[in-house]
């Protein structure tokens, strides 16, 4: 009986930790997928140049927030976009970061 009284709380704690790890892992995968999609959209539409550099995702992912900053890259003519996607799980803020490179200047349409 003493053995069960000592082992059972530790076993329950271990199961809880494993469950938390699974939840965090799944939420990080979702954050990565959402971030990749939004970052690709920002890069393709040049929306990052117009000032919308943060926000939340639409339902059912409204508890995920994103922000993006741009910086010059080591090569001329290229800008780095760095996105951070964050979410809260068990009162702890979790973040993932994604980056991509885009041309520095807006591309103009070729003459016809």
Q: Residues 65-106: pLDDT tens digits?
A: 999 999 888 888 899 999 999 999 888 899 999 999 999 875
Q: Where are the alpha helices (DSSP H) in 1-112?
A: 2-45
Distance in angstroms (rounded) separating the CA atoms of residues 19 and 33: 21
Residue 69 CB partners (closer than 8 Å, separation 6+): 53, 81, 82
Domains identified in the chain, total number: 1
ω into 60 cis (within 30 of 0): yes
Residue 108 in domain: no
Residue 79 in domain: yes
| Residue where the block lists tokens 């704690």 | 13
CATH number at residue 81: 3.30.1300
| Residue where the block lists tokens 């199961």 | 15
Range of the domain at 41: 2-103
Query: What is residue 106's predicted lDDT score, i.e. its pLDDT?
Result: 58
């Amino acid at each position: 009986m003493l053995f069960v009284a000592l082992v059972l709380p530790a076993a329950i704690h271990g199961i809880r930790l494993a469950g938390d790890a699974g939840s965090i892992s799944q939420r990080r995968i979702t954050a990565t997928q959402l971030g990749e999609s939004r970052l690709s959209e920002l890069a393709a539409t040049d929306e990052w140049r117009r000032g919308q550099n943060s926000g939340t995702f639409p339902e059912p992912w409204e508890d995920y927030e994103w922000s993006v900053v741009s910086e010059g890259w080591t090569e001329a003519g290229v800008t780095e976009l760095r996105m951070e996607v964050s979410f809260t799980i068990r009162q702890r803020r979790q973040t993932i970061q994604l980056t991509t490179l885009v041309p520095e200047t807006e591309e103009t349409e070729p003459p016809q």
